Amino acid sequence: MAPTLGSYTSLPDGTLRHVHPITGTEVWAVPSRALRPFVNRQTIPPKVLPRQEREDHCDFCETNYLRTPPERARLVRTAQGRFELLERLDPDSVKFSKASFRRLANLFEIVTYDYWVQNHQVTLSPTQARWKKNYLENPKGLSHVQELMRTKLALAGKPSGEIDALLLAPPEGFYDWFFGGTHEVLAAGRHFRPGADRDDQLFYSGEMTPEEHAAYLNFALEAALDIRSNNGKIRYVAIFQNWLKAAGASFDHLHKQVIGMDQWGPGVEARLQKAKGYPNIFNEALVDFSAEKDLIVAENDHGVVLSEIGHPYPTLAVYSKSRAAHPWDHSSEEIRGISDLVHACHAAAGPQVPCNEAWFYAPWGSPTRFPWHILIHWRTVTSAGFEADTQIFVNPVPPAAFKEQITSKLSDLRSRGRISNLRLGKEMTLKPSPLLYNRA
């Protein structure tokens, strides 16, 4: 049985209807709605930034290392230009190096440590228990976690007297979530780009060099593996990035989130079911179909970028060409190739476009394979009552128009040496079914 290819239908009035072949999401691009502003506009003039040797703009900034939970890992740039990994820092060493990226517990977890304790009887692993013991035996470490816990409990509405009593005689496991929780934040070392003099000159994914972005992407992969290695009940690790408040970010300071889960949710399940019924569907219904409709944005030796149909927001989809379906089974060259494409997509968006970066891969142990891919949604469209009622989404930007816009930006960025080399337009060498995930 052949797969149902994505629907992509133009009507006489100019309306374009398109349906995603995996999720079934239906989207309309209505010409009159395209007159609305596409990219969110700044309504407040940018402010001049004070000159600072060390940034102090939010809790993730360099001067505020101890206003965030204990660091599970840090990437530091060496004098030779390499990235050095420091793991499970102690409170005395936090300020001795300048972090390029930091990994720490999320103060407000989605999947809480208590969830694992109560539902799965999880305890700290030996590695986590040793780190906790060493950290709390240091007076600076104990003071650090006490102050953070005071803040967390106060925000939860606990009276100060109750908080004082808890900190004076903490119950067993009171601080365990700092060291064993499965919801982590991977924060960039900078808030604004180097040399910034205005508060709209934020440090975002596209501001990095390709080498920095590759280090950041690998940092996320390593974090996911470490979370899973310390909790045997984890079946999937969600990896995503929300950029700017309109995309759900609490801070306009670049960060990814990594969350260990005991299930993988309907998004991954839909992909598994489609691939189980027709293993080559990601090639035929997405990449080959996109090539037929001229919706391929770019490629390199290891991946391809689509202006993908069937999304409520303008969406760039980066698909791995690798035979390995699992990101941790990719070679270092393949991972770098995907990183370069994702980095280029963010650079094309610029710092003022709110976007979500969402990763998809086949869960550990799954017999069904689908390609590792990363979706970058531009959150420039707001769904409202029509979408809630009909489950038909209005995205005023047709995929073809979005493809042309991004291709033009990528061409300019490439000419200025801002992104790693990739192939555009007639330079592309794609053959039918270029994704090799189902040929292992």
Spatial separation of the C-alpha atoms in residues 280 and 297, rounded to whole Å: 21
pLDDT value for 272: 97
pLDDT at 42: 55
Count of C-beta atoms within a 10 Å radius of residue 247: 18
Residue 1 has a pLDDT of 41
Q: What is the pLDDT along the chain (440 residues), one digit of tens a residue?
A: 444 566 899 999 889 999 999 999 999 998 765 545 455 555 578 899 888 888 999 999 999 999 999 999 999 999 898 999 999 999 998 888 999 999 999 999 999 999 999 999 999 999 999 999 999 999 999 999 999 999 999 999 999 999 999 999 999 999 999 999 999 999 999 999 999 999 899 999 999 999 999 999 999 999 999 999 999 999 999 999 999 999 999 889 999 999 999 999 999 999 999 999 999 999 999 999 999 999 999 999 999 999 999 999 999 999 999 999 999 999 999 999 999 999 999 999 999 999 999 999 999 989 999 999 999 999 998 888 888 889 999 998 999 999 999 999 999 999 999 999 999 999 999 999 999 999 86
For residue 184, list its beta bridge partners.
Answer: 105, 258
The 3-state DSSP class for residue 357 equals strand
Which pLDDT belongs to residue 39? Answer: 53
Residue entry with tokens 């992909």: 271
Q: Give me the pLDDT at residue 439, please.
A: 87
Buried b / exposed e over 223-236, threshold 16 CB at 10 Å, is: bbebbbebbeebeb
Q: What is the three-class DSSP state of 255?
A: strand
- Name the 3-class secondary structure at 415: helix
| The two three-digit tokens of residue 312, written as one number | 């409520």
In terms of C-beta distances under 8 Å and separation of at least 24 residues, what long-range contacts does 366-369 make, across chains too? 366/272, 368/272, 368/275, 368/276, 369/275, 369/279, 369/325, 369/437, 369/438, 369/440
What does the pLDDT read at residue 384? 85
Instruction: Determine the 3-state secondary structure of 321 from DSSP.
Output: coil
Question: Is the CB of residue 377 less than 8 Å from the CB of residue 356?
Answer: yes
- Give 276's Cβ-side CA count (13 Å radius): 10
Phi/psi for 439 (5° steps) reads -120, 20
Task: Read off the pTM.
Answer: 0.95
Spatial CB neighbours of 291, under 8 Å, sequence gap ≥ 6: 430, 432
Beta carbons within 10 angstroms of residue 40's beta carbon: 15
Write down how long the chain is: 440
Residue at token pair 């390199």 = 300
Cα separation, 277 vs 293, in Å, equals: 24
Q: What is the pLDDT of residue 43?
A: 59
CA dihedral sign, ordered 256, 259, 265, 271: positive
Number of other residues whose CB lies within 10 A of the CB of residue 3: 20
Position 5 scores a pLDDT of: 62
Could you give the angle at the alpha carbon of 108 between the alpha carbons of 106 and 111, nearest 5°?
A: 85
